Amino acid sequence: MSDAAPPDLAPPGTKPVSPLKKVLANAGQLLSGRVVNAVVGLAYIALTYRSLGKEAAGVLVLINAFAQFLGEAAHFQSWQTLITYGAAPLLDDDKRRFQQVLRLSMLLDLISGVLGVILGVLGAWFFWQELRWPEGTNGYGALYALSIGVMTSATGVGLLRLFDRFRFLAAEQAISSFVRMVGCAICAFTHAPLPYFLLAWAAGTFASFAYIAAIAFWDLKRRGLLRGFSLIGPTSQDLPGVWRFALATNFSGTLDVGFTHVLTMIVGAMLGPAQAASWRIGKQVADGMAKPARLMVPALYPELAKMRAAGSQQAMNKLAVQIALIGGAAAGVLLLVSLLAGYWILEKVVGPGYGAAAGVMNWQVAAAAIGVMTLPLEPMLVSMRAAGSALTVRLVVVIAYLAALGPLINTFGLTGAGAALVAAALGMGIGMYFMARRRLARLAAEEDSARTTKDDEGPSYDHAHGV
């Protein structure tokens, strides 16, 4: 198996960059976009709350959260399918096969978008009381659910990641927030009611989708990958295991998204709203502290996929170890900051009286730190088309965690929930490690077997006779 790094897909004339530097540079670009988005996002949220008041703004947040949850839970992780199955034909300049993978990814987006919209419209129309929406807002919620269809431009995101266009990806959320800010400013100036603010928020979602789709289309056309392309044609043909892969990544993503919401609801049901608030606050701070390091993950996927396509197993291992070491250093800093300044951070950022959540937050930060240290493992499995193995680990850990959560909360309260979260993070990391190790060993064995078979066959007839 080759030790070399995979060919670079950057435009001709671009100086080659090491995979590690590329991952860090791309993650840095994403982080810069998140910083801009945070500032602009705060502006439109402030406009919304100041104009509508706490109650009406709360209704908007509930409707948006409902749509976001369905959008994240229903959609396929088609960008992973596109990167994993599209990297090899892109490297080999196999335009027909790449277009087939692109067609499949677009089909997955269409299926998930339609499914999400149907669930959103029906859920808003018939279950608004269970969702605790005020009477008369179900129609607005149903209309807002139409935005679920464009809430995740997964194919466009996958293409830009595969083409190393992270500087364009960095602007995606900022554009959505900017459109929302302008819309909310107009609504605030005209004293518009709730439906118009919902329209402004939905406009941001549509603008983000249109932006990514336009950039992806431009890049495809620039690279000549749209010549001869048709929306009608084969999708999964000669792509063994692709549907199983797509379903596994989708289910794994749904588990990851739903896990946070389920934990908060369980804590609230067992310990009450105040403890649930402490849990949620600590989790948000812990996730926020770990977010910069986690931005390496979307930058890591395309590099690993290219290495896998080029047969560069040792290069994959080297990059994974480098990212793990960087993640380990970041994890140590996160935990140290939480232990030394967690109480102060909560008191200053959230408000007086919230410092008591620092105890459980330390457990949550420790779990996040473990996740940062082990973050290359799942992308490695997915890049090696072993998404089912990653899903198995995640499912086993989630089931075990949920089974232990009730008794631990009854015995130790929030501390028990936090300690269990650390154990779950350890279990996830260990499970992913052994799955990745087994998969790498299997790939090495397959390579050795193929090489031995080729050597045993000896020189071909043409070569032996000088043809």
How many of the other CB atoms lie within 10 Å of CB of 210?
15
The DSSP secondary structure of 90-151, one letter per residue, reads HHTT-HHHHHHHHHHHHHHHHHHHHHHHHHHHHHHHHSTTTTTPPTT-HHHHHHHGGGGGGS
Q: Residue type for 218, please?
A: W
pTM: 0.73
Angle at 335 between CA 332 and CA 337, to 5 degrees: 105
Looking at 194-241, list the stretches that DSSP marks H as alpha helix, in order from N- to C-terminal side: 194-222
pLDDT for 350 equals 60
pLDDT tens digit sequence for 191-218: 999 899 999 999 999 999 999 999 999 9
The tokens of 330 are what?
A: 């970041």
pLDDT for 210 equals 94
- Low-confidence stretches of the chain (pLDDT < 70) are 1-17, 257-262, 264-265, 273, 277, 349-351, 354, 446-467
Q: Which residue bears the tokens 């500032």?
A: 39
pLDDT for 265 equals 66
CA 360 to chain centre: 25
pLDDT for 190 equals 92
Residue 365 near residue 284, CB atoms below 8 Å: no
For residues 107 and 257, what is the distance between their CA atoms, to the nearest angstrom?
22
pLDDT for 460 equals 44
